[in-house]
């Protein structure tokens, strides 16, 4: 009950805050974890790889909606971008990946990142993007927040989802990063086309000014 009250208070606070984007001062960094960049690509063509984070069948979109959001955010803020890449890549088909992803979360699997985590010592604002898997963050994203120190920083969380939004993400962040200031969040449908995703995300960015 106390945890739920804390989350509700956080949501209420976020709703009342007007958040300036990076060009208004302070150093910012965009960090994201995208499924299409963390899969076994053997035997896949370019289109299959770019759309893998959502998934089944051609013609749904040209690329992951999460990457569309990252590009829009980079254009808007001018922030540097840091993609999270893991050594233990996932299967390229979403349904095959999903079962493994649930086991990873249940067993608190610790992934190996392909590169060192970014130095956040001089970063004021972090925009963090991921898909929502099994109602919350993918295990590699949980690993990032287990290992990084975001104390005193502003965090804006954006995600793509298939029906569940960011509620459990906010709950997990409160546990893993109790000293980070989550000032805004949004989650959009993973199943819409890139154009619709861009329009919705741009509206959210406009609301932060």
Task: Supply the CATH number for residue 118's domain.
Answer: 3.40.50.360
The residues, any chain, with a CB within 8 Å of residue 163's CB and separated by 6 or more, are: none
Tell me the residue range of the domain where 32 lies. 25-207
Number of domains present in the structure of the chain = 1
Would residue 138 count as lying in a domain? Answer: yes
pLDDT of residue 5: 44
- Asked if residue 39 belongs to a domain, the reply is yes
- Residue 116 belongs to a domain: yes
| Residue 4 included in any domain | no
Contact 22/78 with Cβ under 8 angstroms?
yes
Q: What is the mean pLDDT of the chain?
A: 84
pTM (predicted TM-score): 0.84
Give per-residue pLDDT as tens, 6-20: 444 444 444 434 455
Tokens 């994203």 sit on residue: 141
Count of alpha carbons within 13 Å of 182, Cβ hemisphere only?
26
Q: Is residue 32 part of a domain?
A: yes
pLDDT (mean) for 73-89: 96
Chain-centroid distance of CA 200 in Å reads 16
Note whether residue 34 is domain-resident.
Answer: yes
* Nearest by Cα to 64 from 75, 76, 48, 52: 52
Is the distance from CB of 131 to CB of 53 less than 8 angstroms? yes
Non-local CB neighbours of 17 within 8 Å, separated by 6+ positions: 183, 184
Q: Is residue 160 part of a domain?
A: yes
Looking at per-residue pLDDT, the higher value among 82 and 2 belongs to 82
pLDDT tens string 117-155: 999 999 999 999 999 999 999 999 999 999 999 999 999
Q: Specify if 18 maps to a domain.
A: no
């Amino acid at each position: 009950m106390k945890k739920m009250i804390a989350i509700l208070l956080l949501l209420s606070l976020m709703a009342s805050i007007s958040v300036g984007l990076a060009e208004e001062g302070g150093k910012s960094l965009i960090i994201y974890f995208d499924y299409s960049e963390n899969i076994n690509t053997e035997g896949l063509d370019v289109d299959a790889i770019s759309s893998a984070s959502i998934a089944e069948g051609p013609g749904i979109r040209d690329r992951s909606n999460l990457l569309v959001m990252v590009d829009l955010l980079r254009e808007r803020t001018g922030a540097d971008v840091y993609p999270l890449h893991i050594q233990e890549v996932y299967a390229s088909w979403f349904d095959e990946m999903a079962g493994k992803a649930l086991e990873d979360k249940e067993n608190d699997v610790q992934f190996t990142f392909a590169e060192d985590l970014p130095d956040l010592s001089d970063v004021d604002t972090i925009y963090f993007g991921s898909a929502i898997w099994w109602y919350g963050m993918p295990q590699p994203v949980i690993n990032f927040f287990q290992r990084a120190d975001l104390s005193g920083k502003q965090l804006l969380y954006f995600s793509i989802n298939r029906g569940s939004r960011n509620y459990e993400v906010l709950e997990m962040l409160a546990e893993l990063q109790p000293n980070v200031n989550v000032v805004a969040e949004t989650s959009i449908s993973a199943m819409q086309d890139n154009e619709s995703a861009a329009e919705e995300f741009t509206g959210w960015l406009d609301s932060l000014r």
